[in-house]
Amino acid sequence: MAITRIPTTSHEPLLWEYAQSRETTDIVDIEDRYGLFIDGEFRAPKSRRYFPTINPATEEQLSEVAEAGRSDVDAAVAAARKAFEETWGPMPGAERAKYIFRIARMVQERSRELAVLETLDGGKPIKESRDIDLPLVAGHFFYYAGWADKLEYAFPGIRPRPLGVAGQVIPWNFPLLMLAWKVAPALAAGNTVVLKPAETTPLTALVFAQLTQEAGLPPGVLNIVTGAGETGSYVVSHPDVDKVAFTGSTAVGKVIQNELAGSKKKLTLELGGKGAHLIFEDAPLDQAVEGVINGIFFNQGHVCCAGSRLLVEESVHDRFVDKLKRRLSTLRVGDPMDKNTDVGAINSREQLEKINELVASGRSEGAEMFQPECELPQRGFFFRPTLFTGVSQSHRIAQEEIFGPVLSILSFRTPEEAVEKANNTPYGLSAGVWTSKGSRILWMADRMRAGVVWANTFNKFDPASPFGGYKESGFGREGGRHGLLAYMDLGEE
Amino acid sequence: MSRVDVRKTYKLYIGGQFPRSESGRSYPALNSEGEVLARVARASRKDLRDAVRVARGAFEGWAGRTGYNRGQIIYRIAETLEDRAGTFAEQLMETGSTRKQASDEVTASVDRLVWYAGWADKFAQIYGNLNPVSGPFFNISVPEPTGVVGVVAPEQPGLLGLVSSLAPVLVPGNTTVVLASQVAPMPAITFTEVLDTSDVPGGVVNVLTGFKDELIPWLADHMDVNAIDATGATPDQALRIQEGAVHNVKRVVLPGANGPVQSPYRIAAFTETKTVWHPKGL
């Protein structure tokens, strides 16, 4: 392996040439075409329509999947209702638990295969799907499995009941992990599920459906209907769905909240964010650089809780930005299947266009852009890691969610100003703070109006840790004991 | 010659003060015989906006108080209410309650306030917890107040309904704009005098009387209201609240959705769970 050391000045980091180290794809068998998973079997869609799913890193078609129409969704909901009434609903919690534990173990057994498939279909670096997504998927099923026969301890003084049929619509940024966040608590609580994966990343959900067949999960307990927004709309507005859970953009979340007005359906929404990431002058700056990089370039910035607004105390602003630029230049951007890749492919052409549009607005509104020199692959959807300095609060790139590898940098002078600026968006999903002063961490954590606050760390997730937003970032929590509430009926009997 | 009564003017309660409606409007409050008891203020869109503005201003202070302190203030409301039990019983009898019903409603209201007062320094221990995450992290979840909460109080019972909706909103540190019972507004207005003499900071509770059909759209659409308790809304009004809620993703609490009216789950419905992570290490 050739390692080249390139002479550096103070602003130019050491650059290393890495030998290619591609993960093998032999482990995955992708079928040419997938049907809908309804009532325990794969079926051709009544709509007779299929759509392609591509690898965003190469733009090559991987497979084609069914587009569920209204009558397909009807069939899925009917199967879920039947399973709720006849098998899953009446089943003792201890037995439900064993199915969910079994699924967790089978995900672990097939985790490499699922990780490779996730990266092929979605574009995220293999090291992330392998080391973060898949372990968390298995962890979620294992965690919630154990709740299935202990629900009365989670809700003291009340008899919690399942809601019935849950309609779930999930995004493309963590396809299988979002499935796990939704399906595991729903099943543990005794509900049955109709789930719609995102149209650009349906494959791991379909392989997961096969896995539940092998696990012997009773037919109808989990139904997967692939399609785009129209299919999702059929799911959430279906009159026989009792609970709707959605993760995605705030704009679509509002459409769903509106569709459900006047219905008795229980709704939880996990929507967008514009997470503030605060750096105080007494922070361990080199560690903070790593935290900031992870906060915005993890998963190409396709993360609703990304630390996309960096607020640096004025006294260390210039020094910190220099360190960031230097670190940015060492990020490896490219083939997601390469085990060394830090920043993979943008999920779709549409998302790439959205990033381009917002980045152009940042430049035209007067912020200063920095991108490292790095070669991007000839094909596929890629975007250079990007910083904007001199950003003001009114800039679109300081207010709107970019959902890409783009960091907007602002500064502050006092902790009060930092809080004021951090909270100055309609969102309230995540926030981060770096300082070595313990009392300041707790003071800041109290004041940041966000559902998750990471102190001296960022973008950490765990099945036992509740996640969800304040304000226009949605309502309800996923993960932990709190995550059960979204799938339980606490109303008067 | 018999003495001439000094009548009370029934006004709004906004920011710890008792203004008339800026619109200069009022409407008659009737007794069970259909006779006019008094004219009460008919709040306008601007009154509602003023109330939301002062509720927002009071939020940081109220949410920032200790649970112990909020608990004492809510307990103090119960004390003051008990002290004026006779006045409230008389008002309730004027709108159709028997003496026994009226007296039961007042004592139930006092007891409910005492019950909720005791939760203020405890509910976080029930709804918050340390999360046992798989890694070297301290990870804790705590419930925090949602913000400014609109309360559409039930039409009846005029006092107990108001108290039952208000108390769980105040316990975790929310501030409120209350739309009082339209048909029986007088207990609500007299209750604002109880609030005003119980150390409740101005702006924490704001009470508007008026026409719900007129006020609910402004409350539902307001971009600085974070949640609405729709307990006292008709199905049509509840639908309007849900539609308006979409503009800023308001939380809407529908009647009966969170267990019985006296329940810590009602407190939880007006909170947001915040999870804080910190690494452990040397």
Percentage of residues of chain B with pLDDT beyond 90:
94
CA distance B203 to chain A (A): 20
pLDDT tens per residue across span A225-240: 999 999 999 999 999 9
Q: Which of A23, A113, A118, A270 is catalytic?
A: A270
Res A13: pLDDT: 57
Residue B246 is nearest to which of A254, A426, A441, comparing CB atoms?
A: A254
pLDDT tens per residue across span A124-180: 999 999 999 999 999 999 999 999 999 999 998 889 999 999 999 999 999 999 999
- Least confident range from A114-118, A194-198, A432-436, B92-96: namely B92-96
Chain A hits for B264, Cβ within 8 Å? 157
Residue B278 is nearest to which of A261, A441, A477, comparing CB atoms?
A: A441
For residue A6, pLDDT over 50 is answered with: no
Res A5: pLDDT: 47
Res A11: pLDDT: 55
- Residue contacts between A and B (CB atoms, under 8 Å): 120
Q: Burial of A413 by CB count in 10 Å (0-12 exposed, 13-18 middle, 19+ buried)? A: exposed
Question: Positive or negative CA dihedral for B214, B220, B221, B225?
Answer: positive
- Verify whether residue A350 is a known catalytic residue: no
CB contact under 8 A, B134 and A455: no
Percentage of residues of chain B with pLDDT beyond 70:
100
Task: Tell me the mean pLDDT in the region B181-185.
Answer: 95
CB contact under 8 A, B273 and A445: no
CA distance A256 to chain B (A): 9
Residue B260 is nearest to which of A156, A467, A492, comparing CB atoms?
A: A492
Q: Burial of B3 by CB count in 10 Å (0-12 exposed, 13-18 middle, 19+ buried)? A: exposed
Give the largest Cα separation in chain B, rounded.
87
Q: Which of A113, A118, A128, A304 is catalytic?
A: A304
Res A491: pLDDT: 80
CA distance A210 to chain B (A): 28
For residue A7, pLDDT over 50 is answered with: no
Question: A12 falls in which pLDDT band (50, 70, 90)?
Answer: low
CB contact under 8 A, A470 and B132: no
Distance CA A186, CA A144 (A): 9
Question: Positive or negative CA dihedral for B223, B224, B227, B230?
Answer: negative
Give the Cα-Cα-Cα angle A127, A131, A133 (nearest 5 degrees): 100
For residue B139, pLDDT over 70 is answered with: yes
Task: Tell me the mean pLDDT in the region A416-439.
Answer: 97
DSSP state letter for B3: P
Res A117: pLDDT: 98
Chain B hits for A468, Cβ within 8 Å? 273
Picking from B123, B275, B282 by the largest number of A CB atoms within 10 A of its own CB, the best residue to mutate is B275
pLDDT tens per residue across span B72-131: 999 999 999 999 999 999 999 998 899 999 999 999 999 999 999 999 999 999 999 999
Average pLDDT of every residue of chain A? 95
Instruction: Tell which wins on pLDDT, B258 or B200.
Output: B200
CB contact under 8 A, B275 and A269: no
For residue B3, pLDDT over 90 is answered with: yes
Distance CA A197, CA A347 (A): 14
Task: Tell me the mean pLDDT in the region B131-140.
Answer: 98
CB contact under 8 A, B273 and A477: yes
Res A14: pLDDT: 59
Res A271: pLDDT: 97
For residue A17, pLDDT over 80 is answered with: no
Q: 3-state DSSP helix/strand/coil percent for chain A, to nearest 5?
A: 40, 20, 40
- Verify whether residue A304 is a known catalytic residue: yes
Question: B257 falls in which pLDDT band (50, 70, 90)?
Answer: confident
- Least confident range from A271-280, A401-410, B2-11, B139-148: namely B2-11
Task: Tell me the mean pLDDT in the region A397-410.
Answer: 97
Query: Would you say A454 and A460 are in contact if contact means Cβ atoms under 8 Å apart?
Result: yes
Res A440: pLDDT: 97
Indicate the SS3 state at residue A365.
Answer: coil
Residue A471 is nearest to which of B226, B246, B264, comparing CB atoms?
A: B226
Chain B hits for A137, Cβ within 8 Å? none
For residue B261, pLDDT over 60 is answered with: yes
pLDDT tens per residue across span A462-476: 999 999 999 999 999
Residues 158-217 of A with CB under 8 A from B: 158
CA distance A493 to chain B (A): 8
Q: Burial of B142 by CB count in 10 Å (0-12 exposed, 13-18 middle, 19+ buried)? A: middle
Burial string for A342-367 (b: 16+ CB within 10 Å, else e) reads: bbbbbbbeebbebbeebbeebeeeeb
What lies within 8 Å, CB to CB, of A233 at 6+ separation is A259
Chain B hits for A475, Cβ within 8 Å? 249, 251, 272
Query: Would you say A212 and A184 are in contact if contact means Cβ atoms under 8 Å apart?
Result: no
Res A8: pLDDT: 46
Picking from A163, A462, A484 by the largest number of B CB atoms within 10 A of its own CB, the best residue to mutate is A462
pTM over 0.90? The answer is yes
Res A490: pLDDT: 87
Question: B174 falls in which pLDDT band (50, 70, 90)?
Answer: very high
Query: Would you say B183 and B27 are in contact if contact means Cβ atoms under 8 Å apart?
Result: no
What lies within 8 Å, CB to CB, of B171 at 6+ separation is B70, B71, B74, B116, B117, B119, B120, B123, B267
Average pLDDT of every residue of chain B? 96
Query: Would you say B80 and B49 are in contact if contact means Cβ atoms under 8 Å apart?
Result: no
